[in-house]
Amino acid sequence: MHILIIGSGGREHALAWKAAQSPRLTQLFVAPGNAGTASVAQNVAISADDNAALVAFAREKQIDLVIVGPEVPLANGVSDALRAAGVRVFGPSRAAAQLESSKTFSKAFMARHHIPTARYATFAEFGAARDFLRAADYPVVIKASGLAAGKGVIVPASLAEAEAALDRIMIAREFGAAGDEVVIEERLEGEEVSLIAFTDGITIKPMPPAQDHKRLLDDDRGPNTGGMGAYAPAPICPPALVAELTRAILQPTVDGLRAEGTPFVGALYAGLMLTRDGARVLEFNCRFGDPETQALMPLLDSDLIEIADACTTGRLDKVDVRWKRGAAVCIVIASGGYPGEYESGKEIHGLDAMSDDCVVFHAGTKMVNGKVVTAGGRVLGVSGWETDRETDMKADAIKRAIRKAYAGLGKIEFSGMQYRADIGKRAIVASK
């Protein structure tokens, strides 16, 4: 098969790395890719947001299957454009992608289908939103409704901070049109878990539950980031709970979208909080997680291309999706200054020295004069895993995966690099 992956981050490198192991593969392209994807696929200089050029390329190269990584092309209707040209796509239509691209859509959808989530109100007008805040007698979270690269959610510590957040979104319009509407939501408490599933629009096959580390610094301090690391499976979400969450959350979501005439094909990501009163959806994403995917792909035993292809043809029920035992951890290395301003163009050393059970997924990198240099905030993700069948103690597997990932990370060096030293630590505590 001729496969095209759209995107250029660590998630897309992990997907390309796994796809490259498939016996079904003839040719693998990544548009636009990065210095890492170039080692397992052919990079194509087309922006992930250029639907017309992507369609033309897919036709010219007779692409059999496209896998879409990021949310922005999905919200731009890249799946619809490709399908209209007769190309099979693993990734939802623009209509189904509203589950992520519009939080007002997503919240109303959950209410219609009785999917557990925080209580909320939506506003298109600043004055009404402010009056609501002043009257609310419970802690809130404020969210720009549209896509804001994970930055549009503000958890205020006081009424003053809440009003300032509303001002930033609705008056200063820090997130542009994403802030045309806001969702004001009840603030929940609990452990967070990312539950991502393959779906063909009918059948659901969940992946191992993962946990992301969103704050910049150890012990979950510092500003929010795109994600500084992840591990899977998350011991706080054992198999019986995954089954329950699939029944109570993922299945009604997929069934509801199909019933509304907008079936969801692709990776459905439920960002959940496990509260004292049960699991609640914090957000849906319409794609694989980043950096969760960098921890999940090393654990996938089955053929990614076979699964993705079956999703596009309504045959997911016929495919056995197997996962390796054990655990995997991904540690992100970011540029100095990230998530604020940072410099690019720093040469990266030590990339070739990895051992077995450890791989470096590139995110913000590029090749300049034969050298790999930094080209983004999040630069690399070092994934380590322990899938030895003899290692049946869960805490042991995750400890060994952590050790392998940090051993790999220790070989890498570039000026200003920063990373967290405690990725996966929570899993060890939880599995005791």
Site residues (CB under 6 A) for ligand AMP? 118, 141, 150, 153, 155, 185, 187-188, 192, 214, 271, 282-283
Q: Kindly state the smallest distance separating residue 97's Cβ from ligand GLY, in Å.
A: 13
285 is a contact residue toward ligand GLY (CB under 6 A): yes
107 versus 205: smaller Cβ distance to ligand AMP:
107
Pick 292 or 309: Cβ nearer ligand GLY? 292
Report what 227 binds from ligand GLY, ligand AMP, none; CB cut-off 5-8 Å by kind: ligand GLY
Which member of 12, 64, 80, 290 binds ligand GLY (CB under 6 A)? Answer: 290
Q: If DSSP codes are grouped into helix, strand and coil, which group holds residue 73?
A: helix
Rounded distance between C-alpha atoms, residue 230 and residue 295, angstroms:
6
Max alpha carbon distance in the chain (Å)? Answer: 61
Q: What residue ranges in 207-317 does DSSP mark as E strands?
A: 211-212, 215-217, 221-224, 229-232, 266-275, 278-285
152 binds ligand GLY (CB under 6 A): no
Residue nearest to ligand GLY (CB): 289
Tell which residue, 329, 417, 408, has the closest CA to residue 378.
Answer: 417
| Residue 245, CA distances (Å) to 7, 25, 212, 276, 279 in order | 29, 34, 18, 15, 8
CB of 411 to ligand GLY, least distance (A): 25
How many C-beta atoms lie closer than 10 Å to residue 367's C-beta? 14
Task: Return the one option of ligand GLY, ligand AMP, none that residue 290 interacts with (CB less than 5 to 8 A, by type).
Answer: ligand GLY
Verify cis geometry, omega within 30 degrees of 0, for the bond prior to 339.
yes
Question: Which window, 12-20, 137-145, 284-292, 347-355, contacts ligand GLY (CB under 6 A)?
Answer: 284-292
Q: How far is the CB of 87 from ligand AMP (least distance, A)?
A: 30
CB of 169 to ligand AMP, least distance (A): 14
User: Does residue 289 belong to the site contacting ligand GLY (CB under 6 A)?
Assistant: yes
What is the per-residue binding string for ligand GLY in 362-401, x denoting contact by CB under 6 A? Answer: ----------------------------------------
> Do you find a cis peptide bond into 209, omega within 30 degrees of 0?
no
Between the CA of residue 325 and those of 301, 390, 391, 400, what are the distances in Å?
9, 10, 9, 13
Q: Where are the alpha helices (DSSP H) in 231-303?
A: 239-245, 251-259, 292-296
| Span from 81-89, 102-110, 288-296, 326-334 in contact with ligand GLY (CB under 6 A) | 288-296
Walk across the sheet containing 358-362 and list its strands. Answer: 211-212, 229-232, 327-334, 378-386, 358-362
We find the least distance from the C-beta atom of residue 70 to ligand GLY, in angstroms, to be 9
Q: Which does 188 bind (CB under 5 to 8 A by kind): ligand AMP, ligand GLY, none?
A: ligand AMP
By rule CB under 6 A, what string of x and - marks binding of each residue 169-208 to ligand GLY?
----------------------------------------
Tell me how crowded residue 328 is: count the other CB atoms within 10 A of its CB.
31
**CB 285 → ligand AMP: shortest distance, Å?**
8
| Stretch in the footprint of ligand GLY (CB under 6 A) among 21-29, 289-297, 330-338, 386-394 | 289-297
Distance CA 268, CA 273 (A): 16
Helix (H) or strand (E) run with residue 15 in it: helix 10-19
Find the residue with minimal CB distance to ligand AMP. 283
Q: 285 touches which of ligand AMP, ligand GLY, none (CB within 5 to 8 A by kind)?
A: ligand GLY
Closest C-alpha to 265, from 197, 201, 203: 201
Of 181, 185, 200, 292, the one binding ligand GLY (CB under 6 A) is 292
d(CA 153, CA 142): 6
Q: Which residues bind ligand GLY (CB under 6 A)?
A: 150, 212, 227, 285, 289-290, 292
